[in-house]
Amino acid sequence: METSQIANFFKNQTLFLTGGTGFVGKLILEKLLRECPEIKKIILILRPKKGKTSQERFDQLFDLPCFELLKSTNINFSEKVFLVDGDCQEPFLGLSAQNLDLLREEVTCVIHAAANVKFDQSLKEAAFNVRATRDLLELAKQMPNLKSFVYVSTAYSNCLNAHIKEDFYKPPLKHDNLLWLVNFLNDDVLTKITPSLLGPWPNTYVYTKCISEDLVKSASTSLPIAIVRPAIIISAFKEPIPGWIDNFYGVVGLVLGVGLGVIHSLHLKLDAKALLVPVDYVANLILAVTCKTGRDKSKKTRIYNYVKMRRNDLTWGEFLKIIEGYYWNYASVKCIWYYSCQYVESKRWHDIRIFFLHTVLGYVVDFVLFCLGRPTLAVKNYERLNKLLECTSFFAIRNWSFDDSNVRRLWNELSDDDKKTFEFYCDQMDLNSYAFDSIFGGRQFLLKDSQDTIPRARKKVKILFVAHYTLLAIFWFLVYQLLMFLFSLIFL
């Protein structure tokens, strides 16, 4: 059997992984332990969160569903994975002097995947991503045994350009200027000037990602470094579980929102490209790039635009057509209304629908809850949802073209064994099967809705279907009666 070049590269290496508890980071960790068992050590940085200490979070990490396949291999991952207390939102990642010395002495590879990926975060919150990248790069320069440093960015880090090359671009602001602003301006002033600083940039996330890439460029002369730019990351295609996902933030969350009857309008262009990539493919690419960078004798800094998982482009129209077939047959028992979302290209019509079907509806629901003596929540939740929809629509109504020659070249360079084990490109992908797995994954891992609830969910959808169209009929009947009354007043 042909030896895996990637597994062989990681043999006896010590990897420092940031973002190891994130969506992509979990699968990087899982794949390394399962397919590269001779790796010497993986060091994770964790911070206290939601009332749990970093040690408690670390102890509970491997209880998650995405590690079940790993557990079946009987690999003693407790001997491979080590925790260091830290926080990427703190200076020098909140690491103690002892842990800093440990990283300097032992680390041979770094994968920097940590980031706050929320689109609606403040500029101050997003700037922590820049500072963490700066401090980690400075730390990496002090690692004498470093072979590879991979920074995980986004395909939209330079989204103001219609065509995006696998190259560096001029940032909107230098990192030191941004960090000065967030350190010395109070929050109120910073909030007021943020729109002026962002200008045409759609959100603080992509804005700071572009600035962080410029930091990587400045360090590229002294470090073996590469950048991976994945597009919109969605559910796992194959591993460790088809359809696995752990967050509502992306496309799958919006799809579930539509299926639950919560979202009633999406602003998008049906013929725009849906740049979707499975999380397991992203993790595989990152590991392949780490190996490539460590073995590359030219020491050239390469950027990898990862924007497609198969040869043919997928449009939003094609994607939604595939998904819609599952809303009825595989509905969730937690749905609150019949799915009635429209995909709207007109911004004005979308805003009108959002006002009546989200904002006004939210007040109606809260009024009913208030009358029943229950806590009100609809208005607040719809405000947050509307803000998210506003942020994401930027990427659904535009088309970009990308160079991805480095990704394709890397794929062609892989051995046949590595193409199977660390797959990130597929000539033939059954999108219907993948959509089915993604829907089931969303039900199982996000909604905690088991498969045996499907018959009950179908009955509920039928009831909501009747209720939905009955209310529509009553509404339009009342509109007709009102128009006829007004007509009689004017002309009689």
Instruction: Give helix 123-140 / helix 175-184 axis angle, nearest 10°.
Output: 130
Rg (CA), the chain: 25
- Residue 337 confidence (pLDDT): 84
Pairing of strands 41-46, 81-85: parallel
* pLDDT the model gives residue 2: 55
What is residue 52's DSSP assignment?
B
Structure confidence at residue 1 (pLDDT): 42
Q: Which residues of the chain have pLDDT under 50?
A: 1
Measure the CA–CA gap between 226 and 304, rounded to whole angstroms.
8
CA 13, distance to chain mean position in Å, is 28
Q: Please report the pLDDT score of residue 443 as a whole number.
A: 85
**What's the pLDDT at 57?**
84
3-state secondary structure 396-463: HCCCCEECCHHHHHHHHHCCHHHHHHCCCCECCCCHHHHHHHHHHHHHHHHCCCCHHHHHHHHHHHHH
pLDDT given at position 6:
94
- Whether the bond into 240 is cis, omega within 30 of 0: yes
Query: Where do the domains of the chain lie, and which CATH numbers do they carry?
Result: 5-246+275-311+400-430 (3.40.50.720)
Beta strands 225-230; 148-152: pairing state: parallel
Q: What is the amino acid identity at position 17?
A: L
- The whole-number pLDDT of residue 86 equals 86
Length, in residues, of the chain? 492
CA 255, distance to chain mean position in Å, is 14
What pLDDT does residue 403 have? 93
Round to whole Å and give the CA distance between 305 and 230.
6
For 427-485, how does the pLDDT look when each residue is reduced to its tens digit (9 = 90+)? Answer: 777 888 888 888 888 888 888 888 888 888 888 888 888 888 898 898 888 888 888 88
- Asked if residue 167 lies in contact with residue 303, where contact means CB atoms within 8 angstroms, the answer is yes
Encode burial over 181-212: b for 16+ CB neighbours within 10 A, e otherwise: bbeeeeeeebeeebeebbeebbbbbbbbbbbb
Q: What's the CA gap between 413 and 406, in Å, rounded?
A: 10
pLDDT for 207 equals 92
Rounded to the nearest 10 degrees, what angle do helices 251-259 and 378-396 cross at? 130
* Residues 52-74: tens digit of each pLDDT: 888 888 888 888 898 888 888 87
Cut 0.85: pTM above it? yes
Q: What does the block give as tokens for 236?
A: 């796992």
